[in-house]
Amino acid sequence: ETGVTQTPRHLVMGMTNKKSLKCEQHLGHNAMYWYKQSAKKPLELMFVYNFKEQTENNSVPSRFSPECPNSSHLFLHLHTLQPEDSALYLCASSPRGEGQETQYFGPGTRLLVL
């Protein structure tokens, strides 16, 4: 049990749909992350929030829109996705958003775009 929860665990959506992924951490951390994990590829960092402020956006297409209303919650809003966006989307948190900290991951949302 990691203290980071994600919903939904699985999601199938068409290219014209709009959906949102939710992440919640119960660890009292100040930094939260969205990653994309595709088969046999390294984790791709998408967004970083530190104290609710976005500190990193790794050239992610605008069809992915993050939202961080507070330090415990993180959303990823999805619209007009492409089939190549199908992947496991992982949320993580860490105490202060520093690179040498351990990150605590949620179980991920397995996304399939048809």
Partner 1 sequence: GQNIDQPTEMTATEGAIVQINCTYQTSGFNGLFWYQQHAGEAPTFLSYNVLDGLEEKGRFSSFLSRSKGYSYLLLKELQMKDSASYLCAVTDSNYQLIWGAGTKLIIKP
Binding region for partner 1 (CB under 8 A): 2, 4, 40-43, 45, 90, 98-100, 102-108, 110
> Nearer to partner 1 by C-beta: 15 or 27?
27
Kindly state the smallest distance separating residue 114's Cβ from partner 1, in Å: 21
> Nearer to partner 1 by C-beta: 69 or 99?
99
Q: Is the separation of the CB atoms in 43 and 35 below 8 Å?
A: yes
Provide the CB-side half-sphere exposure for 11 (13 A, CA).
Answer: 28
Give the list of residues 6+ apart from residue 109 with CB closer than 8 angstroms, or none.
6, 7, 8, 9, 10, 11, 21, 88, 89
Q: Is the separation of the CB atoms in 43 and 75 below 8 Å?
A: no
Kindly state the smallest distance separating residue 9's Cβ from partner 1, in Å: 9
> Nearer to partner 1 by C-beta: 13 or 43?
43
What is d(CA 36, CA 27) in angstroms, rounded to the nearest whole number? Answer: 22
Kindly state the smallest distance separating residue 107's Cβ from partner 1, in Å: 5
Kindly state the smallest distance separating residue 30's Cβ from partner 1, in Å: 15
